[in-house]
Homo-oligomer: A and B are copies of this chain.
Amino acid sequence: MGTVFANVSISLDGYIAGPNDSRENPLGDGGEQLHEWMVDTESWKDQHGHDGGETNRDSEIVAESNENVGAAIMGRRMFDNDEGPWGDDPFEGYWGDDPPFAVPVFVLTHHPREPLEMDGGTTFHFVTDGIERALKRASDTVDDEDIEIVGGATVIQQFIEAGLIDELQLHVVPVLLGDGIRLFESLDSDPIELERTRMVGSPDVTHLWFDVETDRNEQ
């Protein structure tokens, strides 16, 4: 496989969503501010089945992050903002009939569920035996393509703590949200060294890339 990475828009004070997130308000109060730079780009619109959009540096960065992704991993709450059992007629998630991933997506959950095949190449697979197993299953579906850890924050933290992530792509939005869901809550590990490999500034956002020194990277 290629790189295992996370690609996250984050406020300057470290939040990836505002407070009071729910199924109806998945980004939390004010959280949409963190994505404004992205949703206006041609690349994002194209990925989500829309025409138009800005063709700028931000758009190139969105395209570049996505172009080699062969599989994705996300937490249950990022799929449907629920942690309960699935029920008899379960919700098919936030992502619509034709989700923007167009690759296999492995959803971490405590509750087994049959795979859910959507239009456009996205199939949700539900993994009940932890992040290492999810990564193994994702890696079995790719050749040299990348694997994106989509989120949420606790899933990305688990991958960092377990030394299973190679790269963080952070898009720092110049706002202090003051409350919400932090990307980096307290880590359950010793301090972790990174290396900033790249930086690009555009008017609305600061793009920073970090390599993570992990057990996996040292092998």
Contact = CB atoms under 8 A, between A and B. Distances in A.
Interface of A: 12-14, 30, 33, 160, 170, 172, 174-179, 182-184, 186-196, 199, 201, 206, 208, 210
Nearest to A29: B191
B194 A175 contact: yes
A199 B200 CA distance: 9
Given A14-B14, A199-B199, A206-B208, A178 B190 contact: yes
Contacts of A195: 174
Contact of A184 (B170, B176, B189): B176
A194 B194 CA distance: 26
Given A12-B184, A14-B14, A178 B191 contact: yes
B174 A179 contact: no
Nearest to A208: B206
Among A176, A199, A210, chain B packs the most CB atoms within 10 A around the CB of A176
Contacts of A206: 196, 199, 208
B176 A14 contact: no
Contact of A196 (B174, B182, B187, B190): B174
A30 B33 CA distance: 33
A174 B210 contact: yes
